Amino acid sequence: MTVFLVGAGPGDADLLTLRAARLLAEAQAVVHDRLIGADVLSLINPDAVRYDVGKTPGQSDAQRAINDLLVELGGRVERVVRLKGGDPFVFGRGGEEAEVLSSHGIDVQVVPGITSAFAAPLLAGVPVTHRGLSHGVTVVTGSAVSGSTVNFASLANPDLTLVVLMGVEQRALIAAQLIEGGLEPSTPVAVVEWAATERERCLRCSLFELGAAHVRAPAVLVIGAVAALDVAKVRSLVASWALA
């Protein structure tokens, strides 16, 4: 009996790995997240039992219930797929689920997925690294910015790109801390909502404008010089707009 922790990519079923598609077709039970699109779910074996365990951010009890469900299924079902958005080990609590399953003696296999941290900027035409503009990229969560986990002021570096997941709600605080840490208020920002889905759109603004910008989760915030680029201008699928 095996539980496969599978990355579903950012949205579009075309961005699944071949291994993920095969495992979905062969699964006897699938436990999936809230943001998994209908096209991806349609690849699940029609005879498989499905568990939609979508939870809203911050529900720690829900995570405990998911862990218990996985342990229960892993003990009696031959092929279980735990399907998670993006990559299972990027802010998906996949590592925690793998540890819990292993500690119960259940065989776990992990299948990487394309993370929204990199797919969302790319689909909006923003290369996260670019010769002469950005020497590297830092990926962080914005969800606990008012707590002690991420000190954004310490991440202010004009030579690097900052990619923030789960940062929509705290975007004003994130921007304020980055400016306090030394980033110019004029630093370019791209906010990519619902990447790789038909609701995808990209807002361009400055760091100073970010707090008041009208954006909705799920979104990836891309902060740094590269956010002014649009190397995919030839493509017309992405709606892009800028603040006046």
Ligand X SMILES: C[S@@+](CC[C@H](N)C(=O)[O-])C[C@H]1O[C@@H](n2cnc3c(N)ncnc32)[C@H](O)[C@@H]1O
User: Looking at the annotation, which residues are catalytic?
Assistant: 33, 55
**What's the N-to-C CA distance of the chain in angstroms?**
56
In the bound state with ligand X, the residue whose beta carbon lies nearer, of 41 and 77, is 41
* Smallest gap from residue 198 Cβ to ligand X (A): 11
Q: How far apart are CA 133 and CA 123, in angstroms?
A: 19
In the bound state with ligand X, the residue whose beta carbon lies nearer, of 2 and 197, is 197
And the tokens for 107?
């065989």
Tell me if the bond preceding 127 is cis, omega within 30° of 0.
Answer: no
* Smallest gap from residue 33 Cβ to ligand X (A): 8
* Smallest gap from residue 239 Cβ to ligand X (A): 14
**Among candidates 34, 26, 29, which has minimal Cα distance to 52?**
34
Which spans of this chain sit near ligand X (rule: CB under 6 A)? 10-11, 35, 84-87, 90-92, 115-117, 120, 165-166, 192-197, 217-220
Residue 150 burial (CB < 10 Å; 0-12/13-18/19+)? Answer: buried
Which amino acid, residue 166?
Answer: M
| Cβ-closest position to ligand X | 86
In the bound state with ligand X, the residue whose beta carbon lies nearer, of 59 and 186, is 59
